[in-house]
Structure 1
């Protein structure tokens, strides 16, 4: 599957210049910008910076025809057609989606690297969408990554600082952040572990248990640093308020969470999106990345996510190992019962995450997530309807 890309061009001041003829790129994923930048350079000899999605032919990614707004320093030599693009301002537009925004962010990152004695000689735009903008910065002293995120992910640097101090090596190294969504990260060698086998997933779960046990003593510090508080009643309030525009939740939600509390597992740092693709490994070490979805809450959420794609037998094996670890760490707790009670809550929580995205991003970008909330609510309903285990 490929993507057909159309680019509406503006100059650094935001003045419209015209549109390039559509061209194909090999990556179908709409947020991936590197192939778009390379395709415009190869086909039209123009250096572009992708700013944001304007329109999409399909109701959801991937593939199809998509149109982006892109910034250029000067008009290309290729003929341009008239633009048909809405360039009006929007209060939810992200700084890196505005003309001049990427250049300001790259300038911040390269200045930071200069201070560290690690000058960047090449900057490559990798990704941009409503959840992040990512650039790769290469130089003679190695690679660093500029990541810029919206307000609902701005606690990620606080989590990375805590990880670096409390559990060194388990998360990416934070080199710098500006407190306003920009962070500079050191390169993590290896590859994302999509498709990890059972043994590797077990190792990830064991690593994560060590992290979560260490975090038990620092949950109040993490919340004070801005990490969302999703403990017990706070989780119920957040779920109900966030999902209110999308439907109602069961009347017994609070009672269910009270039962979870009685199972005796303590609240801790939760990654919030713990799947193998958010783990990088070079065969020597594993690093858990992308902590923007993290929160303080029940540890079972992460093991439930880590086992979502597995068959029933494999998932049961991983869950049994997780329960054994928590029984060893917190004697007398009831991890099996907590897991069963939280199965539908997992899907309500993921639905609420997507609902928060929809509420916090401009309309043209909502196509990325429009289908996610109803799908997750349907998954929750299906879990609730399942017979209780004997």
Structure 2
């Protein structure tokens, strides 16, 4: 699978200039723009900053014909195709998706690196979509990453700051942040571990248990620092509010018994703690010697079972079983008298509901042209919630006896 890219260009003032001829890229993922930028430079000698997605010929990624808005300095000398494009203001537009936005963020990041004695000599855009803009900055002092996120994910900086103090080495080092969603992160060597097998997942789960055990005594501080509070009834209220705009006939059934279920889970004795929120292997980076958990923007304070459910959700029962058993044994050893297995059983459908609410939050907080990234995720998670509640496929969460 590949993608065909059309770049519609504007200058720093947002004046439309026209479009480059379409070109093909082997990488299908819409948010990955390093190859988009590199090919525009190779073909046309242009330095482009990709601002945002404008349109796609498919309802969701990956692949297909994708049109982006890109910013260039001045008017290019290369021929451009005339194009009609709506560049109207949009209140939900990300700050990096506006003309001048990348330049402002890079100016902040390069100034911070100079302050740290690590001036950047080369910058390269890596990603641009509704959840983040990412740039790599290289210099004689090493590599760093500018990551900018929307307001509803900006607590990631607070999490990284806490992790760096409480459990150093388990997450990227936060070099600087500006409180608005801009973060400057130190480079983490290695690869994202999307293809991790069961042994590596077991090691990830053990690493994360140490983080969660340490965080259990610091939940008040984490909430005060800005982490979303998803403990017990607060989680139920947030799920209901996030899913309220979606199909009421499905959502109402799935929410049946949710408060009673969460109250029952509380009785099983596991402490609330820091939850990563999206602990799949692709959010772990390793060079073969150490593992670092990345992308903490979905984090919250809540029940620790949500992370082991996410780490094992794509595995068959025979593979997931030992990972869940080891996770439960660690908690029983550290919190005598708790019942982790029962907690996992009751939270499995809630985990899918929570993910549906996360995607609903994304949809509510991003501009319309970017919604194809997530629009099918909410119904998919609701379907999974129904199936995990009733394996026979009925459409309601089983009320507690």
Please state which band the TM-score falls in when normalised by the shorter chain: over 0.9
Residue 178 (structure 2) aligns with: 178
1:307 and 2:277 equivalent? no
Residue 217 (structure 2) aligns with: 217
**For each residue in 1:245-266, what CA deviation from the matched residue of structure 2 results, as whole angstroms up to 9, or x when unmatched?**
1132432110111111111111
Name which of 352, 355, 363 aligns with 1:358: 363
**For each residue in 1:288-344, what CA deviation from the matched residue of structure 2 results, as whole angstroms up to 9, or x when unmatched?**
000000000000000000011211111011000000000001100110100000000
Unmatched runs of 5 consecutive residues or more in structure 2: 393-397
1:338 and 2:339 equivalent? no
Contact 1:146 1:185 in 2 (8 A): yes
1:266 and 2:289 equivalent? no
In 2, Cα distance between the equivalents of 1:250 and 1:356? 17
1:316 and 2:338 equivalent? no
Residue 26 (structure 1) aligns with: 26
Residue 376 (structure 2) aligns with: 371
Q: TM-score, normalised by structure 2?
A: 0.96
Unmatched runs of 5 consecutive residues or more in structure 1: none
Deviation at 1:77, TM superposition (A): 2.1
Match of 2:244, SS state, is helix
Q: TM-score, normalised by structure 1?
A: 0.98
Q: Map residues 174-323 of structure 1 onto 2, 5 A cutoff.
A: 174-246=174-246, 247=248, 248=251, 249-323=254-328
Contact 1:44 1:76 in 2 (8 A): no
CA RMSD of aligned residues (A): 0.9
Residue 156 (structure 1) aligns with: 156
**For each residue in 1:239-282, what CA deviation from the matched residue of structure 2 results, as whole angstroms up to 9, or x when unmatched?**
00100111324321101111111111110000000011111111
In 2, Cα distance between the equivalents of 1:47 and 1:286? 35
In 2, Cα distance between the equivalents of 1:317 and 1:284? 24
1:102 and 2:130 equivalent? no
In 1, Cα distance between the equivalents of 2:46 and 2:36? 11
Deviation at 1:42, TM superposition (A): 1.1
Residue 73 (structure 1) aligns with: 73
Contact 1:45 1:76 in 2 (8 A): no
1:11 and 2:11 equivalent? yes
Match of 2:146, SS state, is strand
